[in-house]
Structure 1
Amino acid sequence: MNWNYPFGTTEFVFSLLFVGAYAAFFVRTIRVARRLKTTTRSLIIKLFIRTIAFVLLLISLLGPSFGEAERDLQSQGKDIYLLVDLSKSMDANDVSPTRLEKVKFEINHFLDAMANNRIGLIVFSNEAYTQSPLTYDRAAMNLYVQSLQTDLLPGSGTNLCSSLELAYLKVSQDEAAADKSKIMVLFTDAEKKADCSASLFNNFRRFGIRLFVIGVGTPEGSFIRTQNSVLKDEDGESVISKLQEDVIKNLVQQTQGQGYRIDNKQNELSSVIHDINSIEGQVIDRRRVTVASNKYYYFLIIALGLLVLDLLITVRTFRL
């Protein structure tokens, strides 16, 4: 028999106090009975029941485990590329504090929920670059995510196709990912239409690459704050950046992917995590382990039964 919880100082002190108090009660009762010249034979019944109940309660408190059984445990993993838009429009604050800062915050939650998966990071504006290859190293990934800024890359446009092409190239050339589920999670405000080649979309469908597009922002949009004022166009007009829902819908349709939203009122990241978890991954670890279950309730039930019996049995300590 194994014990899940050690017999510590707290248990020892309370047990000692209980035994001492009950011993004092028992001795006092015997002394009074002798003075009155009566028998204490019936008191032994109560002592016997309560002692057994106390021992059983103590055993259940320690969490006895026995009856070990073997179980098969397996861990499944997927390859996931995060594609993050670093165009200047991601500095818009229609999502607090800004679209990009909100994305970085949500990615941290995403990483925590995907501990068994390899995750890579691709950033893009006019061109796409690999910020981190597929890795299990969460600490390194968190550092990469926190370093993301809209001025990290040259240019300020939004080229969705460049990020998709680079991600496809990475997963198609990775021999270690040949049998794994291939997933891409795209964070963007989709300000520019994705005029990708038909072959790229066909490859997504052909090789079963799952694309999850997360639109960040609102259709109403907002100004893009700079250090001193707001961003203006060539005509001196303030630029208003808006989430282009039609672009996202078209991209989802072409790749047979799924679309989601993140803004101040709606956050569907939990749905993304749920949908990704529902995808079957490759078994990356399988082992047979011995499991010992906590059987405290057997002892607890018997102890409670004895206590109920103790209440039901009426004995006279003194017979006058």
Structure 2
Amino acid sequence: MEMFRFGNIEYLWGLLIIPVLTVIFAWSRISRRKALKKFGNREILNELMPFRSQSRPVLKFVILMLALAFFVVGIARPQFGSKLKTEKREGVELIIALDVSNSMMAEDIQPNRLERAKRAISRLVDRLRDDKIGLIVFAGDAYTQLPITTDYNSAKLFLNSVNTQIVPKQGTAIGAAIDLAHRSFTPDGEANKAIIVITDGENHEDDAVSSAQSAVDDGIIVHTIGMGLPSGSPIPVLRNGQTDYLKDRDGKVVVTKLNEQMLEQIAAAGQGIYVRANNAQVGLNALFDEINNMEKQEMETRTFSEYNDQFQYFFAIGLFLLLLEFVILERKNKYLKNINLFGTKRS
């Protein structure tokens, strides 16, 4: 549900002209200053040009750029939602539980397990139509990254911010992720529900199989995707700006391996399917086809159906700034320049 939007958001690219003009203005000021130095001493020149102002041209330029910014935003047609309507859609509710533990940085799946999973989720979001999606991240514990929604743009935005640093506790608590997803679906919603757990399966924290069985008892299907290869891979870490590999207490390089047996057990308990990712595909497309075959249930969604343009306010402010820039002279006012409000000596 979006309350604010731009009717012509592509025009916001016009804001890029402001830093370009700023660079040109700064260059012209520097060039002018160098040219004046060639004519003689700065103090003498100031005496010869008593009404010349150093700050006013800068102030006028800043005001002009602000006016330009308001005009560009106005042309992009900012709009606020004015009327809510309730729509009935047929779809499913889907929550993705994404492992963000350090082992997901292993590079047996290129460029690494986590980045490859994020790209696949992004492509999955592009295929959704009337379905709801939520995102949970987990390591030693599970956290809601995005509550269940039909706002696919927000889903992709939140997905982009996912990394291994967003959770305070390391580990791989798959059961906690399934339990949190279980509680995160729309209360009393009639839509069919599914959880997709994307992880390397190295679960050391809880009983994920029991969590999957509990979800099934409430009609929720649990699918799993295994990120990584059974042969395993070291975990890259940054030390002093250089790439190293995670080591155990004995100084040996830690190798993280895909635990397929665990993920197969979770999928079986959750009455879902298990897919192993590789460097050719992650497997979300296969799962999407599986989810698409689920019976679609009618869901109610509240969205804004009418938007009011607010561009006139931006144009009004832009025009006021233009008028202000016009009345401010580049030179000092000859009647006001000698006024000394604070009684200080002039050098």
- If the TM-score is normalised by the length of the shorter chain, which range does it land in? 0.5 to 0.7
Alignment map for 1:89-238 (pairs within 5 Å): 89-171=103-185, 174-175=186-187, 177-192=188-203, 195-196=206-207, 200-227=211-238, 228=242, 229-238=244-253
| Partner residue of 2:293 out of 250, 264, 278 | 278
| Partner residue of 2:263 out of 222, 227, 248 | 248
Deviations 1:224-252 (A, max 9, x none): 11123111111111011111111111111
- The answer (yes or no) to whether the contact 2:212–2:222 under 8 Å persists in 1 is no
Percent identity over the alignment is: 33
- Which one-letter code corresponds to 1:144 in the other structure? F
Deviations 1:146-199 (A, max 9, x none): 11111111122101011011111222xx33x52111111111000125742776
Provide the aligned length of Structure 1 versus Structure 2. 209
Deviating above 3 A after TM superposition, structure 1's stretches of 4 or more consecutive aligned residues are: 197-202
* CA 1:168–1:93: 2 relative to 1, 3 Å: same
* CA 1:150–1:163: 2 relative to 1, 3 Å: same
C-alpha separation in 2, matches of 1:157 and 1:199 = 19
Any stretches of 5+ residues in structure 2 without a counterpart? 1-87, 301-347
* 2:271 aligned with 1:260: no
- The answer (yes or no) to whether the contact 1:194–1:251 under 8 Å persists in 2 is no
Deviations 1:61-104 (A, max 9, x none): xxxxxxxxxxxxx9521111110001000000000000000001
- Which one-letter code corresponds to 2:110 in the other structure? S
- The answer (yes or no) to whether the contact 2:223–2:270 under 8 Å persists in 1 is no
- State the shift of 1:205 in Å: 2.3
C-alpha separation in 2, matches of 1:198 and 1:97 = 30
C-alpha separation in 1, matches of 2:260 and 2:204 = 10
C-alpha separation in 2, matches of 1:197 and 1:235 = 30
* CA 1:273–1:87: 2 relative to 1, 3 Å: same
Report what 1:79 is aligned to: 93
Which stretch of the first structure deviates more once superposed, 159-168 or 177-186? 177-186
| SS of match in other structure, 1:145 | helix
- The answer (yes or no) to whether the contact 2:174–2:208 under 8 Å persists in 1 is no
C-alpha separation in 2, matches of 1:197 and 1:120 = 20
C-alpha separation in 2, matches of 1:209 and 1:83 = 14
- State the shift of 1:124 in Å: 0.5
C-alpha separation in 2, matches of 1:219 and 1:199 = 24
C-alpha separation in 2, matches of 1:180 and 1:95 = 34
Report what 2:326 is aligned to: none
| SS of match in other structure, 1:90 | helix
| SS of match in other structure, 2:237 | coil
Which stretch of the first structure deviates more once superposed, 262-271 or 101-110? 262-271
